[in-house]
Structure 1
């Protein structure tokens, strides 16, 4: 699992362009180090939340003292207020931030891996930055991003930052990981060093573009050709849904990056999703759901966690399930853009979490009698995965005929 070589090559090319831009008028290591230092000062906002060997820190300054061997250094402030200095190359900043991009370029200039293991894979229980007492104005509504949800509390982060806080409020059954929650704050306090907030939930919404998530990678996997697909027996008419797909001709194939915190790269059949499914099958639903929530808390881009959370409540609460599926769908769509015309085949297994979210979302739309929206989703599924391993072609006609879910044909 993870990024394919083509995506990595493009990332490295982009870093090389950034390095060239920074060092274009600098000659020798000393001048280039000063150029990097100036670039950080001009383009990276400080203080910034970061990590050093897994410890949450605030990066308060980036310096160069003329010692070429030492290179650029950062002054880091711990949660207890103490400060220390480390090399810039040892600091990890939020993945989608400008600072992370500049550190990656600097590491590449040093002939180091621009993306060390700590930036690529996050554990399910890693330490995180916490909301400070002065981060929240109790006189104004607060916008939080839900990361994981329990019956009486939700682990959240402040919208626009990576700082976490636990929300205690009623109506949490309406909240799913990835949703933005607007809260009228009541009381703020700390217990055991962790920040808490109580308040009244005023509204929830799904707006993935506002979450500042790094889009999942798309790896090019060759060309898909409709001439190589099976469209029925010879002499049989082509189904209507397939005609525009065939007429469009060959299209590029892609595989979407799959994020799965806590996976074992040496054992692809031993991962948190499998553990959750095993617990669910054993009747331990609470523990199974807890694992999925922890995955979302570690990285909201774990699409399979969203799809399986939707599956948990699909049978009895489609109005809740649809929120889980939609968050996963919208996160995946960040990678596609509005003009994506490629194919995401089911046979490339890392595409499956996204396609599962799309399928679940379409089924919920149907159950909620939002027929036109459901038809659009099923048509999009067929366009993205013409081999239709999920059977969208068998659903689309009933949806377009506005046949209620309860009246559908069941084999």
Structure 2
């Protein structure tokens, strides 16, 4: 083992944990967890950005300024707490009572889903920090998420993903990047495909996990969609529920949809309609979009 390998925290033959930050077909840009240094893992893997890859190294070499690594991938897992990320900030904005908003009408067919929310009464409204690398807050034309979305809508799929890979390389806490990458997988086909749905779920899981570093599980307060900075987390959460439902994991999907309604009673994402469809025994594929 030479000084370079020691600095990287890599010992030949000893498993090392890498965080995937940019997954491409033939290589994965990673960060070594123990040393925080970048390395490129050569060879195609079905990982998603933010997952941890455990590799048994075979060879380490440098080409230009890039450290390369080859080896056997022993496992790939989602373990956001192990990423040692700084939790997103959470700002308390004040109390609100959903019962006073009158968004539930008399004889509303969805009122049963709102009963525990209305009975709880007043809760505090929070705004989650949104991280968008390379964005100039004073110039809307610098938003890389919008740029990637426009490219994807134009059929430039590789270029769109490249933008989000660069965003996540800069900061894995960009929840909107995880949400969009999950959405692109989820919406790739309306036909059932376990592999594609599983990949979508994994993108969303990373985004939700990063958000839950701040919120914890089952956050009891309000995170309204009307506050723009809350939307990336809510998109990840919504996508996770849809992926779980399409994969047949109805119990976990229901829990997500119920909690979506709890976080955002105005229900801009339509969780109540999804719960109603589940109660009727319908699947996602029965819905008419």
Asked if Structure 1 and Structure 2 have the same fold, meaning a TM-score greater than 0.5 normalized by the shorter chain, the answer is yes
Matched, 1:375 2:254: yes
The aligned residue for residue 193 of structure 2 is none
Q: Deviations over 1:240-263 (max 9, x none)?
A: 110000000000000000000000
The aligned residue for residue 334 of structure 1 is 213
- Are the equivalent residues in 1 in contact too, given 2:5–2:11 (CA < 8 A)? no
- 1:266 aligned to 135, 138, 144, which one? 138
Q: Given the superposition, is the C-alpha separation of residues 246 and 321 from structure 1 closer, same or farther in structure 2, using an over 3 Å criterion?
A: same
Kindly state the Cα deviation for residue 368 of structure 1 after the two structures are TM-superposed.
0.3
- 1:240 aligned to 88, 99, 112, which one? 112
Q: Deviations over 1:210-256 (max 9, x none)?
A: 11011000011111212332333346576111000000000000000
The aligned residue for residue 41 of structure 2 is 167
The aligned residue for residue 139 of structure 1 is 13
Matches within 5 A, 1:24-35: none
Separation in structure 1 between the aligned mates of residue 277 and residue 180 of structure 2, nearest angstrom? 25
The aligned residue for residue 4 of structure 1 is none
Separation in structure 1 between the aligned mates of residue 109 and residue 146 of structure 2, nearest angstrom? 41
The aligned residue for residue 352 of structure 1 is 231
Separation in structure 2 between the aligned mates of residue 353 and residue 190 of structure 1, nearest angstrom? 37
Matches within 5 A, 1:292-307: 292-307=164-179
Matches within 5 A, 1:302-313: 302-313=174-185
- Are the equivalent residues in 2 in contact too, given 1:371–1:402 (CA < 8 A)? no
The aligned residue for residue 12 of structure 1 is none
The aligned residue for residue 192 of structure 2 is none
The aligned residue for residue 24 of structure 2 is 150
Separation in structure 2 between the aligned mates of residue 279 and residue 238 of structure 1, nearest angstrom? 38
Kindly state the Cα deviation for residue 193 of structure 1 after the two structures are TM-superposed.
2.4
- Are the equivalent residues in 2 in contact too, given 1:224–1:252 (CA < 8 A)? yes
Q: Given the superposition, is the C-alpha separation of residues 231 and 183 from structure 1 closer, same or farther in structure 2, using an over 3 Å criterion?
A: same
The aligned residue for residue 62 of structure 2 is 190
Q: Given the superposition, is the C-alpha separation of residues 138 and 277 from structure 1 closer, same or farther in structure 2, using an over 3 Å criterion?
A: same
Matches within 5 A, 1:7-406: 132-134=4-6, 135-170=9-44, 172=45, 174-234=46-106, 236=108, 239-315=111-187, 316=189, 317-338=196-217, 340-400=219-279, 402-406=281-285
The aligned residue for residue 48 of structure 1 is none
The aligned residue for residue 19 of structure 1 is none
Kindly state the Cα deviation for residue 284 of structure 1 after the two structures are TM-superposed.
1.1
- Are the equivalent residues in 2 in contact too, given 1:146–1:157 (CA < 8 A)? yes
Which consecutive residues of structure 2, in runs of 5 or more, have no partner in the other structure? 190-195
TM-score (norm 2): 0.91
Matched, 1:409 2:287: yes
Separation in structure 2 between the aligned mates of residue 141 and residue 206 of structure 1, nearest angstrom? 17
Separation in structure 1 between the aligned mates of residue 29 and residue 209 of structure 2, nearest angstrom? 21
Q: Deviations over 1:116-156 (max 9, x none)?
A: xxxxxxxxxxxxxxx93222011111111101111101110
TM-score (norm 1): 0.65
Aligned residues: 278
Pair member with larger Rg? 1
Q: More relative contact order in 1 or in 2 (CA 8 Å, sep 6+)?
A: 2
- Are the equivalent residues in 1 in contact too, given 2:110–2:272 (CA < 8 A)? no
Kindly state the Cα deviation for residue 356 of structure 1 after the two structures are TM-superposed.
0.2
Instruction: Flag as ranges the 4+ runs of structure 1 deviating above 6 A.
Output: none
Kindly state the Cα deviation for residue 280 of structure 1 after the two structures are TM-superposed.
1.2
Which consecutive residues of structure 1, in runs of 5 or more, have no partner in the other structure? 1-130
Q: Given the superposition, is the C-alpha separation of residues 237 and 156 from structure 1 closer, same or farther in structure 2, using an over 3 Å criterion?
A: closer
